[in-house]
Amino acid sequence: MAETEVKLGPVIIEGKTKVVYQVADDPELVLLKSKDRITAGDGDRSHELKGKAAISTDTTTAIFQLLNSAGIKTHFVRRCDDTSFIGYKCDMIPIEWVTRRVATGSFLKRNPGVKEGYRFCPPKQETFFKDDANHDPQWSYEQCLAANITVGGVLIGRDELDIMSRTTVTVFEILERSWASLDCSLIDMKIEFGVKPSTGEIVLADVIDSDSWRLWPSGDKRLMKDKQVYRELREVTQEALDTVKRNFEWVAERVKLLIPKPNARAVVFMGSASDMPHCEKIRTSCQQLGVPCELRVSSAHKGTEETMKILAEYEGEGIPTVFIAVAGRSNGLGPVLSGNATWPVINCPPLSGDWGSHDIWSSMRLPSGLGCATVMFPEAAALCAAQILALNDHVIWGNVRAKQLNTWIGLKEADKKSRNDK
């Protein structure tokens, strides 16, 4: 959509690298327009870099699409034009959330004795209060809590800090995993959150681009592709700025390759079409996790040759596949598939109330040499398949991780509500 089609209202805020406009006909939306400007050291170093706005918007757009599609709550709505995107208007929480996998940079100065390259597992978290005049001082969890910041009507207390903390780590892990699929190491990352005034929800906001992280191709610091290259320049020549820009372009091109297109699938075999409703539930859960799912009817007891033929077809295609076997009463299907396929098989028998506790043993008491798993619920079959496929697919990995995060946030919010209701 061309920018002219979005009627702009007043400027809400202008910073060093972007301008935020109110969208005229929707009070919930803003347009975030990037500038061709690169800055470092709280603006002490600042240069015009032609083309940077478009490169930065390419990067941010792709990253937020990736995160939105995984299920992370963000302010990103859609790309608008070369240098801008539309997002939900937020009241910004003035805390920078930093996550580190590898110790480097300012962490080493603040923690003398720690060697560069030290790996944090789980990732290390740090928080900084956004205050340019005082050079964004580091704040502990307790300082963030003691500040009693109220943003958009929401008091930033323990629950809110915990939600941002866990979301930050999840976002880092998803991006780390995604970059790893292109043999790049995400070393550290900085993000910000805002409160959506309409709902009071905390969402990931601002931008995530080459200014937000350290990115080392093949884990090699000498190959770094992020803004650190600009920070470390002794003298800022045009040639040096061109190198910085080429690095940012390199990132923006690659980041598009991270956008969801899973090369993986689940195939549900059912012994009888009467199991269709059970299988539909598996397919729905698979789709929610971004796992393409096909349903096939084939009985290993009554149509053995056909079952083997279908299996051979799938194996011949070479797409990483998990088979899910759905057979009531005596489950020959799953064990027969498992004994003849190298890919994993999950049994998910539809259990009847009367005979379920007997029938399940036909999935579990296997002949020697077989290793198929058994789960009882359609959602569990889909999740188990997704977790297996996630070993090799960063998109599915991100979906599983974000689902776990959202379940955790849901519990946290329910607990908060029950405390407030009493």
Ligand X SMILES: Nc1ncnc2c1ncn2[C@@H]1O[C@H](COP(=O)(O)OP(=O)(O)OP(=O)(O)O)[C@@H](O)[C@H]1O
Binding site for ligand X (CB under 6 A): 12-13, 15-18, 20, 30, 32, 75, 87-90, 92, 130, 132, 192, 194, 205-206
Q: What is the 3-state secondary structure (H, E, C) of the chain?
A: CCHHHCCEEEEEEECCCEEEEEECCCCCEEEEEECCEEEECCCCEEEECCCHHHHHHHHHHHHHHHHHHHCCCECEEEEEECCEEEEECCEECCEEEEEEEECCCHHHHHCCCCCCCCEEEEEEEEEEECCHHHCCCEECHHHHHHCCCEECCEECCHHHHHHHHHHHHHHHHHHHHHHHCCCEEEEEEEEEEEEECCCCEEEEECCCCCCCEEEEECCCHHHCCCCHHHHCCCCCCHHHHHHHHHHHHHHHHHHHHHCCCCCCEEEEEECCHHHHHHHHHHHHHHHHCCCCEEEEECCCCCCHHHHHHHHHHHHHHCCCEEEEEECCCCCCHHHHHHHHCCCCEEECCCCCCCCHHHHCHHHHCCCCCCCCEECCCHHHHHHHHHHHHHCCCHHHHHHHHHHHHHHHHHHHHHHHHHHHHC
Instruction: Pick the closer one to ligand X by CB: 194 or 217.
Output: 194
To ligand X, the closest distance from the beta carbon of 283 in angstroms equals 36
In the complex with ligand X, the residue whose CB is nearer, 211 or 359, is: 211
Rounded to a whole number of angstroms, the minimum distance from the CB of residue 112 to ligand X is 27
Query: In whole angstroms, how close is the CB of 372 to ligand X at the nearest point?
Result: 48
Residue 56, CB half-sphere, CA atoms under 13 Å: how many? 28
Nearer to ligand X, 34 or 185 (CB): 34
Cβ 1 to ligand X shortest distance, Å: 18
Q: Compute the least distance from the CB of residue 30 to ligand X, in Å.
A: 5
Query: Measured from the CB atom, is 28 or 379 closer to ligand X?
Result: 28
| Residue sitting closest to ligand X (CB) | 15
In the complex, what is the shortest distance from the CB of residue 89 to ligand X, in angstroms, rounded to a whole number? 5
CB-nearer residue toward ligand X: 23 or 70:
23
**Complex with ligand X: residue 94 or 292, whichever CB lies closer:** 94
Q: Which is nearer to ligand X, 22 or 330 (CB)?
A: 22
Q: CB 208 → ligand X: shortest distance, Å? A: 11
Residue among 97 and 269 whose Cβ is closer to ligand X: 97
Q: What's the closest the beta carbon of residue 282 comes to ligand X, in angstroms?
A: 38
